[in-house]
Amino acid sequence: MNAFQVGRVSSVFPERGTAKVYFKDKDVVSRELPIVNRGSRNTKDFWMPSVDENVLCGFLDNTSRAGFILGSYFNELNESVSSTVNKRRIEFPDESVIEYDFTSNTFLLDIKGNVQIKATGNVTVQGDVISDGISLKNHTHNFSGSSGTTTGPT
């Protein structure tokens, strides 16, 4: 086996951070290979390839025994999600997006479901909060009648 080999993920084991890879040219499935991630001790970054995703594997001894999944890559069927080096972008299967644009200093969360923010302390926002087009800082209330009741923000 070559020191580097391209294959297709056949099964994943997220609880162990491993996956098995099918190598078409050898018609063989690897044993479980650890997946290289950014951080595995104090600061952890978790990523698992999908089944059928193309991956690059590296082997220490030119056999399938001591190896790692180094990552996946873009190709004609799985195109890049950005056309600029000025963005860090993550797209999820449900089309939710997390993106940071270094040029405009804009952080985008386009979430297709619920969002939960949990904090053991305060959550502080500097700047205005706008919800459904209504500004938290600049909205107004209309007073109604002699009872002094107010309507919702406008």
For the chain, give every domain's residue range: 4-72
Render pLDDT for 72-90 as a digit per residue (tens, 0 to 9).
999 888 888 888 899 999 9
* pLDDT score recorded for residue 151: 65
Question: Mean pLDDT over residues 40-65, rounded?
Answer: 86
Strands, E, within 14-151: which ranges? 18-23, 28-29, 33-34, 54-59, 67-72, 87-91, 97-101, 106-110, 130-131, 134-135, 143-144, 149-150
Question: Mean pLDDT over residues 77-104, rounded?
Answer: 91
CA 91, 101, 132, 154: dihedral to nearest 10 degrees?
170
- For 30, other C-beta atoms within 10 Å of its C-beta total 23
Render pLDDT for 6-16 as a digit per residue (tens, 0 to 9).
999 999 999 99
Q: Looking at the structure, give the CATH architecture of the domain made up of residues 4-72.
A: Beta Barrel (2.40)
Question: Mean pLDDT over residues 50-76, rounded?
Answer: 88
